[in-house]
Structure 1
Amino acid sequence: MPHLQFHIKPIGTDELTPWRSLRKDLWPQASEAEHRQETEELLSQPERYLAVIAMSPDGDALGFAEASIRRDYVNGCDTSPAVFLEGVYVSPLSRRMGVARALCTSVEQWGVLQGCEEFASDTDINNVDSQRLHKALGFAETERVVFFRKRCRTGTTR
């Protein structure tokens, strides 16, 4: 595995622009306004959310992770609260060099400090790359779910 120097730090005002840029790479369907609103919400509730970024010595953002403390039921968990990995992303040139592992270790340590005994996450059933990453990071698959929905009929009934 190639060696890459970087450090993990909580995201502050100096990292807003690179963080939002990396978020856009992970979640391109979200608008700039949505990314702005979500990042502001994350930073405004440090007791509930954590956002960390991996930075190179040159000041380049290599990746980020976002997590939350969930006190409601978390699929596959037996305890509450649980720390939940909401998203993790590493730029393509920095992958397979320990960045995601370091980001997730930082999240896990924060979760322990918040009283969590379990670290949970999820991914799309078709996202095989993410599933491989989770397994490499020590996560164990707990279940597979198919979600359903139905539109409610509107109008008057007879």
Structure 2
Amino acid sequence: LHDFYPHANSPYILLALSPNQGDSYILREFNLDTRQLLSPDDGDGYEISTLGMHYVSYRSPDELLIGTDFGEESWTESGHSRVIKAWKRGTPLSDATTVYEGLVSDVAVSQWSYTDRGYHHEFRTRTIALYNVYWEYRVVDGEGGGCGFRHVPRPPDANLR
């Protein structure tokens, strides 16, 4: 279960469904109000029907940040997401635009957003090695505007919570 976009009154949640309770799963979006799975075939809803280790986070009620199989160069040597794209509701995954990329030698790459006390925040990370993570942060103003990402100065093995 992936959290819905936290500052909106959005009824959407993402379900990660794994047939064997492992790391690989398919992704479906569920509407809590109607109690139904949403379908991209109806022009609404997100779905990844290929079993894999996908990375997903709501950027807004109508946009996901996603790392999945975009082709041969979309994974790190460790088998995790290397490319993060922004996927708008009602569009095919192939139309998603790249917003962040790591190196093939990285362990993993991620980007996520949340809202707290009226401010919309975005973080992104490159896990270079198990305890060596490069963090960047920005405050988002309006529709994706605001300041650019800035490095978070900290010891590379320190965890932010």
> If the length of structure 1 is used for normalisation, what is the TM-score?
0.27
Larger RCO (alpha carbons 8 Å, 6+ apart)? 1
Q: State the TM-score, normalized to the length of structure 2.
A: 0.27
Higher strand fraction (1 or 2) = 2
Structure of larger gyration radius = 1
Higher helix share: 1
